[in-house]
Chain A
Amino acid sequence: MSEQHSEQHHIASPTLYLTIFAALMICTFLTVVAAKIDLNQYFSGLNIIVALTIAVFKASLVVLFFMHAKYSPKRTQLVIIASVFWLAIMLFMTMSDYVSRSWT
């Protein structure tokens, strides 16, 4: 094989997992609380922005630590980035059609 990943199999510690779990719980709590407050009055759509930001943060924690992406070979990280990127292409470019229809 040409590209060797000679790095040892990384083993994360249970304390790390527990910390991540705690962070996820706090985020879950936060996202419920944030939803109960009317943030849209400050900035239209702020509620969903906050909710999704928290969700992205939570997902990143899961991917990086529970799924060990942080310690994975580059090509695994590339796969992750690619799938998120393709998801973004779809959402962004499709919505760009609908959003710009009323522009003149």
Chain B
Amino acid sequence: MSATPAAVNQMPREHYLNATWGIRSWLLTTDHKRIALLYLASVTFFFFIGGAFATMIRIHLLSPKGLLVTPETYNKLFTMHGVAMIFFFLIPSIPAVLGNFLLPIMIGAKDLAFPKINLLSWYIYLVGGCFVLYSFSTGGLDTGWTFYTPLSSVYSNSAVTPAVLGVFINGFSSILTGLNFIVTVHTMRAPGMTWFRLPLFVWAQYATSIIFILGTPVIAITLLLAGLERVFHLGFFNPALGGDPILFQHLFWFYSHPAVYIMILPAMGVISEIIPTFARKPIFGYSFIAGSSIAIAVIGFFVWAHHMFVTGESTYAALTFSLLSYLVAIPSAVKVFNWTSTLYKGSISYDTPMLYALGFIGLFLIGGLTGLFLACLGLDIHLHDTYFVIAHFHYIMVGGAVMGYVGGLHYWWPKITGKLYPEFLARIAAITLFLGFNLTFFPQFILGYLGMPRRYASYPPEFQVLNVMSTAGASILALGYLLPMIYLTWSMRYGAIAGPNPWPGTGLEWRTPSPPPTENFDVTPEVTWEPYDYDNRPDLGLDVSGAPALAHGDD
């Protein structure tokens, strides 16, 4: 089903968007929903910056000699692409936008535990972002997003210091968000909202927050040390002064491997919400999906050195880290199997969020499975730092996490704005994205196995055919991103009125008007039902008679 007849729905007279007016009421707001929208705007901004760099990368690689820029500039392009996309788009995207908006509503709270700190984290994000933009605009930086020493700390002539500072500062934004989420989940739940009634999205955010608070400080101190080393010519990671460059990698990946789960866990949470809603049945294996989120967050901390198999790390360490990398794959497998099983005997609709969710499963599957190739010691000797790695992580991060994010945006768009987007266009966009994505990144697996190194501004001519395919795909992909941008913006004004529960969904967020009032609920809800339970929810107006569903909230 898509739009319920708009006539029966009305926008609430007062909601969080129109409760107060003026720019100050936004910049000084402590309402988690407004802060989420501030994040939405800033995160989108960085996505476009990163996307513009990606576009230039792909155009440049059309020709073996490089089409567009000098090698020096090319190096800056992929570095800035990685930094913008990872630290300023993907890591904050789902937690700070969707998580911020939904987490308090989903557990029946009026706001996060620390609303002012929430606003503060957005400002910290902005300050960090400004540093990074400053570094981009004063010559850019060319260290790769991994900032490996001693290249970054001694040899690079580019604007490393402001960029490192920017990422350092941005870390505190993540930390505060994570802190806020954890405390909120612990202490702010509505009566009746027990741990095992939490929506899986909340579980995923909780797991993500564990990584935020225990991992992020490490990248902060590491980059601080690298920055100090650069500015004061110290020797922590510089072998010429007795330091050890591999130590930097250990510290960097201690955070940055778990950080990949920061990016995927929230998307997994989104998928776990979308699938039961559009299959209209309880999720299969609730506790396994919830538990696997926590398992991924914890075990994810034990595998970091799988990025270092060929640095000369000890053989024994490599064996340990490889084995543990295989263990961390199991909880992901559990999720995939449970999502698939949820479809069985469902009542599946073809609405846009569902298309994204299924696309997510397929692409995450390929991305995750190719992680198994890389975690394999013998194979990683060959694959390390080739385009195979590039393809692997774009499959997970673009095909998985970004798809999850965009799908989630579509799913909750009616809640956020109170309006419906044009369904037909949205489906077209979803399919365009899926096809464009595969054309862009599948050839890169082959390129990688053939041995094409990553971060190459020019390459041997035998690799050209596959590169051209990839660039062609990227242009389709860009179109796929442009479309939602346009119609979602359009729908804010012209979209049909959504009503409180258009799909209908079972969570608490669907039991309050769209858009919700500032304090989220007119009366504090009391939870008496199990999650994703359609059978005991007469209020949803579904089932039995088979009569057309007229969704209406109960408040």
Residue B529 CB within 8 A of the other chain: no
Q: Are B250 and A94 in contact (CB under 8 A)?
A: yes
CB-CB nearest in chain B for A89: B301
Q: Enumerate chain B residues within 8 angstroms of A101, measured Cβ to Cβ.
A: 312-314
Residue B218 CB within 8 A of the other chain: yes
Cβ < 8 Å to A, chain B residues 477-520: none
Contact of A97 with B313 at beta-carbon distance under 8 Å, contacts A2-B193, A82-B214 already known: yes
Q: Are A103 and B314 in contact (CB under 8 A)?
A: yes
What's the Cα separation between A97 and B312 when bound, in Å? 10
Residue B187 CB within 8 A of the other chain: yes
Residue B195 CB within 8 A of the other chain: yes
CB-CB nearest in chain A for B210: A82
Q: Are B193 and A90 in contact (CB under 8 A)?
A: no
Residue A86 CB within 8 A of the other chain: yes
Q: Are A98 and B214 in contact (CB under 8 A)?
A: no
Cβ < 8 Å to B, chain A residues 63-95: 75, 82-83, 86, 89-90, 93-94
What's the Cα separation between A103 and B314 when bound, in Å? 8
CB-CB nearest in chain A for B215: A86
Residue A33 CB within 8 A of the other chain: no
Residue B392 CB within 8 A of the other chain: no
Interface size class of A (residues with CB under 8 A): 10 to 19
Q: Are A96 and B194 in contact (CB under 8 A)?
A: no
Q: Are A100 and B186 in contact (CB under 8 A)?
A: no
What's the Cα separation between A46 and B191 when bound, in Å? 55
Residue A1 CB within 8 A of the other chain: yes
Q: Enumerate chain A residues within 8 angstroms of B250, measured Cβ to Cβ.
A: 94, 97
Q: Enumerate chain B residues within 8 angstroms of A98, measured Cβ to Cβ.
A: 314
What's the Cα separation between A100 and B191 when bound, in Å? 53
Kindly identify which residue among A2, A90, A100, A103 contacts B254, using a CB–CB cutoff of 8 Å.
A90
CB-CB nearest in chain A for B187: A1
Q: Are A96 and B186 in contact (CB under 8 A)?
A: no
Q: Are B302 and A89 in contact (CB under 8 A)?
A: yes
Contact of A100 with B187 at beta-carbon distance under 8 Å, contacts A86-B301, A89-B302, A94-B250 already known: no
Q: Are A2 and B314 in contact (CB under 8 A)?
A: no
Contact of A75 with B186 at beta-carbon distance under 8 Å, contacts A2-B194, A93-B302 already known: yes
Residue B320 CB within 8 A of the other chain: yes
Interface string of B244-281 (1 = CB under 8 A from A): 00110011001000000000000000000000000000
Residue B328 CB within 8 A of the other chain: no
Interface string of B197-219 (1 = CB under 8 A from A): 00000000000000000100010
23 contacts between A and B (CB under 8 A): A75-B186, A82-B214, A83-B214, A86-B214, A89-B302, A93-B302, A93-B305, A93-B317, A94-B247, A94-B254, A96-B316, A97-B246, A97-B305, A97-B313, A97-B314, A97-B317, A99-B314, A100-B315, A100-B317, A101-B314, A103-B314, A103-B315, A103-B316
In the A-B complex, the 9 residue pairs with the closest CB atoms: A97-B317, A101-B314, A100-B314, A100-B316, A94-B250, A86-B214, A97-B313, A2-B194, A97-B314
Residues of B within 8 A of A (CB): 186-187, 189, 191, 193-195, 214, 218, 246-247, 250-251, 254, 301-302, 305, 312-317, 320
Other than A97-B250, A98-B314, give 10 A-B pairs with Cβ distance below 8 A.
A2-B195, A86-B214, A86-B301, A89-B302, A93-B317, A97-B313, A100-B314, A100-B315, A100-B316, A100-B317
Residues of A within 8 A of B (CB): 1-2, 75, 82-83, 86, 89-90, 93-94, 96-101, 103
